[in-house]
Amino acid sequence: MVRFFVKPEELNNQFIVLTGQNAAHAKVLRLRAGDQVLVCDGLGKEWVCAVSDVSSGQVSLVVKGMRESQAESSVRVCVYMAFPKADKLEHVIQKATELGADEIVAFPSARCVSRPDEKSLQKKLERWQKIASSAAEQSGRGKVPSVLVLKSYEEALSRASLADKAILFYENEQAVTLRMALQSGPYRTVSLMTGPEGGLEEAEVEKARKTGLQVCTLGKRILRCETAPLCALSAVMYDAGEF
Amino acid sequence: MVRFFVKPEELNNQFIVLTGQNAAHAKVLRLRAGDQVLVCDGLGKEWVCAVSDVSSGQVSLVVKGMRESQAESSVRVCVYMAFPKADKLEHVIQKATELGADEIVAFPSARCVSRPDEKSLQKKLERWQKIASSAAEQSGRGKVPSVLVLKSYEEALSRASLADKAILFYENEQAVTLRMALQSGPYRTVSLMTGPEGGLEEAEVEKARKTGLQVCTLGKRILRCETAPLCALSAVMYDAGEF
């Protein structure tokens, strides 16, 4: 079924009106009275609706029922990524959304060569959030992951450490695997943290350990900074029994 | 240690000479007499060498020892991907190489909107093989995955079916998970097959079943055609105990 994301305040349990981009999209899809569609609040709930009327610039829907989204994972995984160069962050936002991430958080670290300045940040965040919305729509998700930017590495560590499994990947770690970290006990929330192109500094890794993160390997091959979070996220979803 | 891929016929157990692009790369890295480097045959063996002499256009090495590459996976995973649009195949070749694939095979299927014509194919294959080489080098692999192109869907099926686990991912499959397929018995070789942007046709999926492939889901979210193979490959490597 086609799905539309609508702001929670525009939703109610009887009638919903699609406007703006949603109405334009409905036109492209040639929706007609009687067609079934899904309307999502982007927070995990969805409304099954029937089109009642299509007019210029708006589409009226009658609500048939409301349910929890069926495409959301039972585990909440937050991807923490040190700012990478150029369009790599956008790539990770799109793919991590498809793969079911709950949040994507970018943070600065010592060897980051790129980090957005204060001025352009708001505009970039809007763009990134749009990429997540569009990927959520395409992949059939009921929730749009939040994209966040933190101001310091320390803030990222202390936020990440709150999850049941808080994991930092480091290419010099050889003994502790992701599997060991995940299988040491049950989990509902996971933080997956990865470094920038140049890697994390040894002192940063030590700081992570002290904050309570478990330092793990992603195997014997060196993964690019945009590959590592997606590989780890895929493995966590697999481990959690998603596929 | 820096690594160079050299054609097997240029290797011996005493002295190796780097020429061409390898020599140019050594120059960029400012290698000097005494430095240690690794020379790989791209087939899984590597030679530990010391630089003995650097001159214009060539670098002479003394072989210290030969060993099996330590970065190759214990399972051989072949990624079968229906021809996607434009640069998506290149993306998958690069990432699948990092993630440890043994082979990347492209094949035509009913809904492929893009497939290279005979004329341009040889040139494209060379380009794709170069992408794999370069990703293998960067990720520290000892083997360069082969990139192959098959002429028919049927050829892809019968080739894929030879693996211990031959798996086709289909978005309409809901019951059988990758986990069930992998954990039903031990494996050393895996074929992971995915469709193009428009998906596989029901009849194609049936044909796969008849050829002996197991049809599996990759979860409740619809993955793009370039995300699915990498997600599956990450999960297989995790399942095989690589990280």
Helix (H) or strand (E) holding A67: strand A58-68
Nearest to B238 among A224, A235, A241 (CB): A235
Mean pLDDT of chain B: 95
User: Looking at the complex, does the CB of residue A227 fall below 8 Å from at least one CB of chain B?
Assistant: yes
Percent of chain B with pLDDT over 90: 87
Residue B173 is predicted with a pLDDT of 95
- Per-residue pLDDT at B214 exceeds 90: yes
3-class state of residue B54 by DSSP? strand
Residue A117 is predicted with a pLDDT of 86
User: Looking at the complex, does the CB of residue B230 fall below 8 Å from at least one CB of chain A?
Assistant: yes
Helix (H) or strand (E) holding A58: strand A58-68
Asked whether the beta carbons of A167 and A192 are under 8 A apart, the reply is yes
Across the range A114-129, mean pLDDT stands at 90
Q: Which positions in chain A touch B234 (Cβ < 8 Å)? A: 230-232, 234-235, 238
Handedness of CA B25, B28, B34, B37 (dihedral sign): negative
Q: Do B220 and A95 touch (CB under 8 A)?
A: no
Higher pLDDT, B12 or B54: B54
- Per-residue pLDDT at A13 exceeds 90: no
Chain B residue at shortest CA distance from A180: B243
Residue B236 is predicted with a pLDDT of 98
d(CA A192, CA A85): 19
User: Looking at the complex, does the CB of residue A219 fall below 8 Å from at least one CB of chain B?
Assistant: yes
Across the range B129-149, mean pLDDT stands at 94
User: Looking at the complex, does the CB of residue B238 fall below 8 Å from at least one CB of chain A?
Assistant: yes
Across the range B67-76, mean pLDDT stands at 92
d(CA B157, CA B213): 8
User: Looking at the complex, does the CB of residue A144 fall below 8 Å from at least one CB of chain B?
Assistant: no
**All domains in chain A, ordered by first residue:** 3-68 (2.40.240.20), 76-239 (3.40.1280.10)
Distance (Å) from the C-alpha of residue B144 to the closest C-alpha of chain A?
A: 13
pLDDT per residue as tens digits for the range B186-211: 999 999 999 999 999 999 999 999 99
> Which residues have a Cβ under 8 Å from the Cβ of A115 and sit 6 or more positions away?
A83, A108
Residue with tokens 């330092």: A215
Nearest to A234 among B139, B224, B234 (CB): B234
How is residue A206 written in tokens?
Answer: 């030590």
Nearest to A235 among B70, B224, B235 (CB): B235
Q: Do A235 and B234 touch (CB under 8 A)?
A: yes
Residue B24 is predicted with a pLDDT of 92
Q: Which residues lie across from B147 on neighbouring strands?
A: B104
Q: Report the interhelical angle of B153-160 vs B202-211 (nearest 10°).
A: 40
User: Looking at the complex, does the CB of residue B70 fall below 8 Å from at least one CB of chain A?
Assistant: yes
- What are the C-alpha distances in Å from B217 to residues A92, B170, B184? 22, 6, 16
CA A72-A78-A82 angle, to 5 degrees, is: 145
Distance (Å) from the C-alpha of residue B221 to the closest C-alpha of chain A?
A: 5
3-class state of residue A63 by DSSP? strand
- Per-residue pLDDT at B29 exceeds 80: yes
Q: Which candidate in B97, B234, B237 is best for mutational testing of the A interface (most A CBs within 10 A)?
A: B234
User: Looking at the complex, does the CB of residue B239 fall below 8 Å from at least one CB of chain A?
Assistant: yes
How many helices (H) and strands (E) are present in chain A, helices listed first?
7, 11
Per-residue confidence band for B33, with pLDDT thresholds at 50, 70 and 90 = very high
Q: Do B221 and A178 touch (CB under 8 A)?
A: no
Q: Which candidate in A220, A224, A239 is best for mutational testing of the B interface (most B CBs within 10 A)?
A: A220
User: Looking at the complex, does the CB of residue A223 fall below 8 Å from at least one CB of chain B?
Assistant: yes
Q: Do A227 and B140 touch (CB under 8 A)?
A: no
Across the range A132-136, mean pLDDT stands at 95
| Beta-carbon contacts below 8 Å between A and B | 107
- Per-residue pLDDT at B132 exceeds 90: yes
Asked whether the beta carbons of B168 and B208 are under 8 A apart, the reply is yes
Residue A90 is predicted with a pLDDT of 97
Radius of gyration of chain B (CA): 20
- Per-residue pLDDT at B85 exceeds 90: no
Distance (Å) from the C-alpha of residue A85 to the closest C-alpha of chain B?
A: 17
Residue with tokens 């793919």: A95
Radius of gyration of chain A (CA): 20
Q: If contacts are CB pairs under 8 Å, which of residues 81-110 in chain B contact chain A? A: 95, 98-100
Residue A46 is predicted with a pLDDT of 92
Strand segments, DSSP code E, in chain B are 3-5, 15-18, 36-40, 45-55, 58-68, 76-82, 103-107, 146-149, 165-169, 189-194, 214-216
Distance (Å) from the C-alpha of residue A36 to the closest C-alpha of chain B?
A: 19
